[in-house]
Chains A and B, each alone.
Chain A
Amino acid sequence: MGRYNTLMMDDGYVNYFQILKIAPDAKPGEVRNAYKQLMKDLVMEIARVEITGERRDRYLLEMAKLNASFYILRENDTREAYWAARTELIALEEAWRNAVESGEANVDAARRAYDAKLRHFLSRYVEEAMLEAGRDKGCVEASNWDAAHERHASRILRHYRQSLYQRILERLPYWEVTPPRIDWDERKRVVAAILAGETC
């Protein structure tokens, strides 16, 4: 386990080391090289294929992720702030889970602390960082990101942020409702009855 441990259960907490396919202790030069190579590959791929609406959205998101990876990881202070926020978030998730499992009285406080941190992390390191990176000189040079990209990307990044939030939510303890007992055979029968037009 190194300083930047990426082996924890961290699905949904965007990992910019993985996006750049570099080791967590990669030096700034390696970050730059990896970014430039991946961006070059992406730009060449975009030039090769016919652009459909779905592809355009996907490529914009890929480009924004690469830009943000470079923007955050190339400097030690931004890299460390990002990783500290991420590590704290994972610890808060674990603390909430433990509070639920042990039936502690402060479970709601633990949930709220985690939820506030999660929303902040996703806003800061998914939406804001990706948009900021698009205005960074180094990123603009490599990706040709411009105002039109940014305009279009805001909706895509919001969607991506919420999708990550939903992905994380799926594995968390239920808090807004009691844990539902879903019998999928019964669900199939309900769907069949509704489609057959049966009333309540």
Chain B
Amino acid sequence: MAAAKQSATTKTVSPDDVASALAKAILEGDIVNFRLLFAPFSPARRDSSQSFAMPKYAYLLPDDEMRRDTAFQRILELVKRPETMRHIQGELDANRPAQLPSELILPLADQAVRLEKTSSAAQAYEILRIRARMQEEFLAQADAALDAGNLARGVRGYLIAAGLAYDYAAFPEPLPAVPDYQTRALMLHGVYPERPEDCPGVRATAPFLSMALSYLLDPALAARLEHRSTEIRLAFLAEWVRRRDPAWNDFTRRFREAAAFARSFGARLERRMAESLGLAEEIEEQLGEDPRQIPALLLGRTVDPGEWWQYLKEIACEHPAGALFLARQAVGDCEILVPRYIADSEPARALGLVET
């Protein structure tokens, strides 16, 4: 024990390693690693038993390729400014919680935004107490871009702003807000649709867009778009979905297949619902197929035991916008998820859910 303490107190830490590790954290927009370097057990501290030479901390240091990167070298210069290094060393030597250098956290936060690591960026801006104002600045410039007809820039601004949101109701401490489409989708489909217009995808375009943007963004952010024309909001929705969900085209392909499959059961489904009889059994008998395959087709895999809400949560997590074009459907004594939309609706066409 005494030997370990002795070895810890006599350890030497290379300032180059400290600077390189900090520069790497900044370049990667990684607030967690950045804070770790100032933690009591940090390998950057002379009085810590941990060391950069330990294999478990190899990830903190840049590799040769990163060291050759001009962006890394520029950041390293910033870290190595004499006054900054003096402050860093002073904080690492002090026996108290470190005061982080704000001149390094700001570029880290900006870099995190560039890399779309918005949770990291939100934490960094929050420490600097500028998160809300930065979020507003992204929104203001995104609105200006939309005014100027630059859709891609506008959507990017809204995506970043949504990512910078903070959840002050998180337990036990506030945290960056994370998209919880699994929960939001359940709320969207919480009540069984009694009429066609109760299904989100069957609503007229304007109310559909209000509801869809509120679900996908956040009610407060969606409200900023409310005054815009239906055309712009529709284009915004399509652009948002494509940016947010790179695998959206895979979903649209499966959605079309599932919709075709569901149509083949349409008339029978209505009759059986009216008679409250077991549709699945009858179809199995007559066609050898089961409508309960529809949710599995939509998701691209099966989920056990196959409750509608399980499929909904999985689909909402992988393809948030997909939940907007689905509905619950009673089939005999169980419920399934089925595609439900208006074939010639503008949103369905804009999102590629129907053949154009």
The answer to whether B160 and A194 touch across the interface, beta carbons within 8 angstroms, is yes
For B113, the chain A residues whose CB sits under 8 A away are 194
The answer to whether B138 and A178 touch across the interface, beta carbons within 8 angstroms, is no
For B219, the chain A residues whose CB sits under 8 A away are 53-54
**B130 vs chain A, min Cβ distance (A):** 6
Please give me the residue from chain B that is nearest to A197 by CB atom: B156
Please give me the residue from chain B that is nearest to A162 by CB atom: B168
Known: A159-B169, A162-B169, A191-B141. A180 touches B128 (CB 8 A): yes
Other-chain residue from A162, A178, A197, A198 in contact with B102 (beta carbon distance below 8 A) = A178
The answer to whether A169 and B174 touch across the interface, beta carbons within 8 angstroms, is no
A25 interface residue per 8 A CB criterion: no
Instruction: Say whether chain B's binding surface is mostly helix, strand, loop, or mixed.
Output: helix
B27 interface residue per 8 A CB criterion: yes
Please give me the residue from chain B that is nearest to A175 by CB atom: B99
The answer to whether A176 and B169 touch across the interface, beta carbons within 8 angstroms, is no
The answer to whether A191 and B134 touch across the interface, beta carbons within 8 angstroms, is yes
Interface residues of B in 165-183 (CB under 8 A from A): 168-171, 173-174
Contact with A along B109-153 (1 / 0, CB 8 A): 011011000000000000111100110011001100100000001
Other-chain residue from A53, A175, A194 in contact with B110 (beta carbon distance below 8 A) = A194
Known: A158-B169, A162-B174. A177 touches B71 (CB 8 A): no
Other-chain residue from A53, A166, A177, A188 in contact with B101 (beta carbon distance below 8 A) = A177
Please give me the residue from chain B that is nearest to A111 by CB atom: B97
For B137, the chain A residues whose CB sits under 8 A away are 187-188, 191
The answer to whether B153 and A195 touch across the interface, beta carbons within 8 angstroms, is yes
The answer to whether A179 and B102 touch across the interface, beta carbons within 8 angstroms, is yes
Please give me the residue from chain A that is nearest to B71 by CB atom: A200
Query: With the chains together, A162 CA to B168 CA distance in Å?
Result: 6
Other-chain residue from A53, A195, A199 in contact with B138 (beta carbon distance below 8 A) = A195
The answer to whether B128 and A182 touch across the interface, beta carbons within 8 angstroms, is yes
The answer to whether B100 and A176 touch across the interface, beta carbons within 8 angstroms, is yes
Please give me the residue from chain A that is nearest to B27 by CB atom: A200
For B127, the chain A residues whose CB sits under 8 A away are 176-177
B157 interface residue per 8 A CB criterion: yes
The answer to whether A178 and B87 touch across the interface, beta carbons within 8 angstroms, is yes
**B342 vs chain A, min Cβ distance (A):** 27
The answer to whether B99 and A177 touch across the interface, beta carbons within 8 angstroms, is yes
For A144, the chain B residues whose CB sits under 8 A away are none
A155 interface residue per 8 A CB criterion: yes
B245 interface residue per 8 A CB criterion: no
B96 interface residue per 8 A CB criterion: yes
Known: A192-B141, A195-B156. A159 touches B114 (CB 8 A): no
Query: With the chains together, A181 CA to B171 CA distance in Å?
Result: 31
The answer to whether A177 and B138 touch across the interface, beta carbons within 8 angstroms, is no
Other-chain residue from B96, B102, B142, B171 in contact with A158 (beta carbon distance below 8 A) = B171
Please give me the residue from chain A that is nearest to B91 by CB atom: A178
The answer to whether A108 and B96 touch across the interface, beta carbons within 8 angstroms, is yes
Query: With the chains together, A108 CA to B103 CA distance in Å?
Result: 22
Interface residues of A in 155-170 (CB under 8 A from B): 155-156, 158-159, 162-163, 166, 169-170
B206 interface residue per 8 A CB criterion: no
B105 interface residue per 8 A CB criterion: yes
B296 interface residue per 8 A CB criterion: no
Other-chain residue from B100, B114, B134 in contact with A187 (beta carbon distance below 8 A) = B134
Other-chain residue from B97, B130, B170 in contact with A182 (beta carbon distance below 8 A) = B130
The answer to whether B99 and A194 touch across the interface, beta carbons within 8 angstroms, is no
The answer to whether B111 and A200 touch across the interface, beta carbons within 8 angstroms, is yes
* 20 CB < 8 A contacts A-B: A54-B219, A108-B97, A155-B169, A163-B168, A166-B168, A169-B129, A175-B99, A177-B100, A177-B102, A177-B128, A178-B99, A178-B100, A178-B102, A180-B103, A180-B106, A181-B102, A187-B130, A187-B137, A188-B137, A195-B156
